[in-house]
Amino acid sequence: MRERIVKKLTIMLGLFLFLIACQDKSNHEDPQEHAEPVSESVTADETQKNGLTSEGDEDIPPVYIDETNYTGDELEIVKLMNTRLRYLWEEDEKGYMSLIDPQSPVSGMSRTKVRKVISMSDITIQEQKKLYQGVVEVTELKENDVESSSIMVFWKKKVDGDSAQWIIADID
């Protein structure tokens, strides 16, 4: 049964990535315009002005996602994303791995710290037979001033009933 869920998830993610790759690149409209952005795109000058450079500012904490814009399951997912950001920053691999589903292909923590989430698509939550699945595309600014985009997948298992918590299923 688990293999079917993983297979469906893989197919769904593949289709999602295919649709993103097939978007018309000649469209000059900002692709994040209709999504709820976390913040504006950050240039290198703005990064230095805001104290986000990697030169000697190890103790400046990351910029977390503003949780006031979310409610319900979306809020729980954003809190989970912020906790992930904190564990990455603190280099707390044990804490980080506690956020990851045991069946996840994520096998360890990235060694590059994330300074902030630059943009974020709407969180899409779908009900499946045995779980709820949340998906969000994010662009993060890493400590080395490199932007990185990924798709984050979250699960909330129905078998856990009222005590069910969102957990990270995959980061691709």
| 8 Å CB contact between 171 and 87 | no
Q: CA-to-CA distance for 58 and 50, rounded, in angstroms?
A: 14
The 10 Å CB-count burial string (b at 16+, else e) for 118-128 is bbbbebebeee
pLDDT band, residue 6 (cuts 50/70/90): low
Q: Using alpha carbons, list the distances in angstroms from residue 170 to 33, 46, 55, 137.
A: 26, 31, 31, 12
pLDDT band, residue 24 (cuts 50/70/90): very low
Q: pLDDT by residue (tens digit) across 84-101?
A: 999 999 999 999 999 999
Residue 19 has pLDDT above 70, yes or no: no
- E-strand stretches of 52-171: 114-120, 124-127, 131-142, 147-157, 167-171
Residue 148 has pLDDT above 80, yes or no: yes
Residue with tokens 């009933």: 161
More confident residue, 70 or 10: 70
Residue 36 has pLDDT above 80, yes or no: no
- pLDDT at site 142: 92
Residue 26 has pLDDT above 80, yes or no: no
- pLDDT at site 61: 85
Q: Which residue in 141, 159, 135, 142 sits closest to 77, CA to CA?
A: 135
What's the predicted TM-score (pTM) here?
0.67
